[in-house]
Amino acid sequence: MLITLRRASRYPSPSPTTLRPFTASSITRTRTHSVLENGTSSLHQQTQLPQSFTHDTLLQNKRVLIANRGEICMRIARAAKSLGATSLSVCAPEDASSPHVQFADEHVVLEKGETAIAPYLDIESLTRVAVENGVDFVHPGYGFLSESAPFAQSLVSSGIEWVGPPPEVLQLFGDKIQARALAQRSNVPVVRGSGNLTSGEECLGILNNGDVRLPAIMKAAFGGGGRGMRIVRDLSQVASSFDSCQREALTAFGRDEVFLEEFWEDTKHLEVQILADGKGGVVHLFERDCTVQHRHQKVIELAPARNIHPELRRRLVDCAVTLARQCNYKGAGTVEFLVRGDLESPETEFVFMEVNPRVQVEHTVTEEATGIDIVQAQLLIAGGRSLEDLGLEQENIKLRQHSLQARITMMPGKGEILNQYKEPSGSGIRCDTAGWYSGFKPNQMYDPLVGKLICSAPGVTSESFEAARQLMLHSLKDFEIDGVANNIDALERILTHKDFIDNRYNTSFLTEYPELLDPSKAKKTQTEHGSAKRLYSEERIRFELTPPMTGNILDVKKKAGDEVEVGEVIVVLSAMKIETEMVSPVKGVVTEINCKAGEQVSGDTIVAVLEGHEEIQIDTTAAEQIGRSTASASSSAVGSQSSDPSMDVWRASDEFVHVAANDGGMTLPIIRSVPASQLNDSKAQARKERNSALRDELFSKVDAVKLGGGERSVALHRKRGKMLPRERIAAIIDPGSSFLEVAPLAGGDGLYAADGIDDLPSGGAVAGIGLVHGREVMIVANDATVKGGTYFPITVKKHLRAQQIAADNRLPCVYLVDSGGAYLPKQAEVFPDKEHFGRIFFNQARMSAAGIPQLAVVLGSCTAGGAYVPAMSDESVIVHKNGTIFLAGPPLVKAAT
């Protein structure tokens, strides 16, 4: 059964902002910005490109279904919204918590499939969703069914516009064999290759006959995106490589056909972005350099290619445009080439690889280099616009700047929940991401792409490239991802490698320098005095083999009782749509196999148990140069003794660590806590009593401020049917969870005694962090029992401090507003400028623009500053009967005159 969830459009047509009371069944949303309801950011993607098409009204009030997930779903939803269309996202049941689901105007939960990916590949189900929800367009994004001719035909037959090439063109380029034939007919150079193969034996026969020479590459005939590929350098690898390639192709694309091509090594991978209108109009948006790859997955992309000769560029783009014209192409596409030789030479050799008949992951770097919004253009072309209508004549398309793109991805290992997540921002920086946030648990059954970081610098010179590279390095340092293993450090190493800086790299770059991806894989040093030798531990160990992440077992290579060597494959795991081989870390025997093919396993599942001896690698030369030692037990502790008795708990032990350095050793003390049993009893007891007294005093003060502004004020407050601020917060946060309050004792200790105010409990506002549906949220609640919830100088400081915490940690803000604005007798100290009281509203605007949701609930009579908070929020709710907003009244007029 299909479950359809709808809500009011997040992008209403422009109209005067209105605020209405709400009952349990009606909520008014106002000034809705493009932010997620669950607090996801990704708003850096919204930077408008110089040549966007938002003036075009073709898609006004149309409905666009996005048959994809993650960052590309959000990118398409944003483009649809900018053109006035309503977006509809879909998700597998296992994917329902992913941010892309809520980002669109509406969403549909698909039927559960045999795997987490299956619902995204179900043509019948997706077509039914499109028809039942009355959509006008379907945009497939990339991957999944983006190159599926049957899916496109199913939609076209249902009267729905397919955002992409027509089905017959998808069929042509979906079959890499047919695509090669078209290239040959069009005089576009290709490498030697085979037809579709059915088995490893057939593949072996072609290689033995010399029809294709080693090294060769196996490719998914109906795939792309770097998946379903295996390089073969030895005939003994053919059978296993074919099986693995076929499985990965079937998982990623739903088709398992594989073919063979000769493998060009030491090449550049360049691709040309094209746009075509299906009416004879074809333009190119220049080339991209996608040479930096790992296992055929692009890591860093550049637009344009560096130092390319104008004639070589002309030859490449002419081939791309010719292929598009030959097949009456429509929409966005990419024509990929391998280039062997110097890019600065006009006669450098190149060959056609394939056409990707869809938008690509790296379209964003071309958008930044040219200033053209490719996704908007796709949608409008699908609606019938010509390139001429869009003003996209070839002579008007220019390169405006150098752009670099780094793909931020999850990596195996570490945890599964984001402890911290923060994207960089600033001039020249763009982030197209999957909408992650602190506390989010990414679904590891899908693509590991977190998002794309694009950095640009004006001009197309060596200086502009270097400026973009430096900006990328700074931005990567500002990209905070903690809790989930990622590749940010690896990207920094790549960008600072001399070969990358000097443009002396090719597609084997990361193979030649594996330490760029993993420092532990640095090549071992060897000298005439010593070389690496392998040893095994004397002790026999028991090793439990666990997956690096959640995934599906594809194959079990060993059984209990099998003897194994270090590095032998035990289990093959499919995770993040990529195969991962789990290998033996010992020389020994398999004692248990606890999994079977087809099972889903998590990171803590013990899939196999082995017993044996660990491999020890010793570099004898390094061993002579670097030694480990410990100082003698008689060595004295480092540091002086403090007169503070509490410092007696900490001391330096008599153990030391010797750290080798190139110019000598450095000795550091190991710092350890002393167990309470070893402390002087009298001192420990004295500290315990003092700390207990301080704790009791703190709890007493906190309990006192929870009573609010006094019995009379609380009674009047409750008579109006209102809850106290902490009661309101308790009703909002997740049941059983705690509330981490900020500065609960602010406003105490006679701060305003000179004004005749003995105490200002909690400064007149309660603020802190709580969990709402498992998401950390900053809540600021006025306490109307304390001087009507008005703002004193300390209230302003507390509110600003809460906003600072929220901004630093990207926490959505919920304002429980019940305030009369500034406390008028102290108005001379509550300045309305943006550095004091007015800073509250300035912060709301800045956080909203940065993708941090600002939500307000009006719970009482609110005026002046109390009215500005909901007015500056992304969404506001007014409580029926109690909530009102006004900007003036007798007290305010009297005070002002």
Residue 525 is given by DSSP the state: P
Task: Supply angle C-alpha 891, 895, 897, rounded to 5.
Answer: 120
C-alpha to C-alpha distances, 870 to 788, 799, 858, 859, nearest whole angstrom:
17, 14, 7, 11
What six digits make up the tokens of 74? 């959000």
519 in Cβ contact with 302 (< 8 Å): no
CA dihedral for 373, 378, 380, 381, sign (positive or negative)? positive
Q: What is the dihedral of CA 597, 602, 603, 608, to 10 degrees?
A: -40
Task: Supply angle C-alpha 278, 279, 280, rounded to 5.
Answer: 100
584 in Cβ contact with 564 (< 8 Å): yes
C-alpha to C-alpha distances, 834 to 652, 808, 861, 873, 886, nearest whole angstrom:
49, 19, 24, 17, 22
> Comparing C-alpha atoms, which of 637, 616, 781, 785 is closest to residue 711?
785
The residue with tokens 């450090």 is 489
Residue 44 is given by DSSP the state: G
Residues forming a β-bridge with 407: 452
The DSSP code sequence of 429-461 is EEEEE----TT----TTS--EEEEEEEEEEBSS
Q: Residue 234 and residue 212: Cα distance in Å, rounded?
A: 13
Cβ atoms within 10 A of the Cβ of 777, count? 22
What six digits make up the tokens of 31? 């000034």
What six digits make up the tokens of 599? 């099972």
Q: Where does 186-290 have alpha helices with state H?
A: 200-209, 238-253
CA atoms within 13 A on the CB side of 124: 3
194 in Cβ contact with 260 (< 8 Å): yes
What six digits make up the tokens of 551? 């995934």
SS3 729: helix
Q: Residue 849 and residue 34: Cα distance in Å, rounded?
A: 9
Cβ atoms within 10 A of the Cβ of 345, count? 12
Residues 6+ apart with CB under 8 A from 202: none
Q: Judging by beta carbons within 10 Å of its beta carbon (0-12, 13-18, 19+), is residue 207 exposed, middle or buried?
A: middle
* Active-site annotation holds for 325: no
Q: Which of 358, 726, 810, 839 is catalytic?
A: 358
Q: Residue 389 and residue 404: Cα distance in Å, rounded?
A: 30
219 in Cβ contact with 258 (< 8 Å): yes
Cβ atoms within 10 A of the Cβ of 307, count? 11
What six digits make up the tokens of 772? 């709402």
CA dihedral for 379, 380, 381, 387, sign (positive or negative)? negative
Q: Residue 193 and residue 185: Cα distance in Å, rounded?
A: 15
406 in Cβ contact with 491 (< 8 Å): yes
Residue 524 is given by DSSP the state: P
Q: Residue 33 and residue 300: Cα distance in Å, rounded?
A: 31
Q: Residue 370 and residue 304: Cα distance in Å, rounded?
A: 9
User: Residue-wise over 247-271: b if at least 16 C-beta within 10 A, else e?
Assistant: bbbbbbbbbbbbbbbbbbeebbbbb
Q: Residue 502 and residue 482: Cα distance in Å, rounded?
A: 32
Helix pair 70-82, 374-382: axis angle to 10 deg = 70
Q: Residue length, the chain?
A: 897
- Residues annotated as catalytic (active site), given as ranges: 358
